[in-house]
Amino acid sequence: MFEYHSENAMSADNQQERPLTETSSLDVERIPPEIGWYLAGFAEGEGSFNVPIRRRNDFEMGWKVSLSFNISQKDDTIPKLFQSVLKCGTIRYRRDGICYFEVTKVEDIVNKVFPFFAKFELRSGKKKDLERFKEIAYMVKRNEHLKQGGLERILVLRRPMNNGGKR
């Protein structure tokens, strides 16, 4: 039912695949429950919701706020399954052989990742990370991250995510 959509880029150090993107929202009702729950469980253990904030002098506020949902695994089967089911994201192969699936586009996060996890809910502490990530994503979508107060609120929201990680 799900097909892998990828074209390998030829690179010795950092093989990458082109991103898979469709503009429509994800139809979660078409995802077989056994696959949806399997991927949700996998995301519980291996998934991560990140909000990298990096210094950028070419940005008006001086900071770039990014969003990332990702999973990584030695084998590429699960990352490719995530990409196939969510119909978005990028697959990369790191130098150490780890396969990395990542969704960074705000529209894909809002229209595909969030509906997936609304149907196949997280059950651990990662659920709180998702809720904070959602709030931040909607702030970014409304361009609130471009204002001082919005940026400060994002910093507060992201602090406890991923056990206080600094990504």
Given a cut of 50, the residues of the chain with pLDDT beneath it are: 1-18, 21, 166-167
> Chain-wide mean pLDDT for the chain?
87
CA dihedral 103, 104, 107, 113 (to 10 degrees): 30
With respect to residue 166, please indicate whether it lies within any of the assigned structural domains.
no
68 close to 95: Cβ distance less than 8 angstroms: no
Q: Kindly report the CATH number assigned to the domain that includes residue 130.
A: 3.10.28.10
Confidence (pLDDT) at 60: 81
Domain count, the chain: 1
Confidence (pLDDT) at 23: 52
- Which helix or strand (DSSP H or E) is residue 49 part of? strand 47-50
**φ, ψ at 137 (rounded to 5°):** -60, -45
Confidence (pLDDT) at 121: 97
**φ, ψ at 19 (rounded to 5°):** -65, 150
Q: Strand 68-73 vs strand 99-103: parallel, antiparallel, or unpaired?
A: antiparallel
With respect to residue 16, please indicate whether it lies within any of the assigned structural domains.
no
Query: What is the domain range of residue 105?
Result: 30-160
DSSP at 164: G
With respect to residue 88, please indicate whether it lies within any of the assigned structural domains.
yes
Confidence (pLDDT) at 18: 46
49-77 residue pLDDT tens:
999 999 998 888 889 999 999 999 999 99
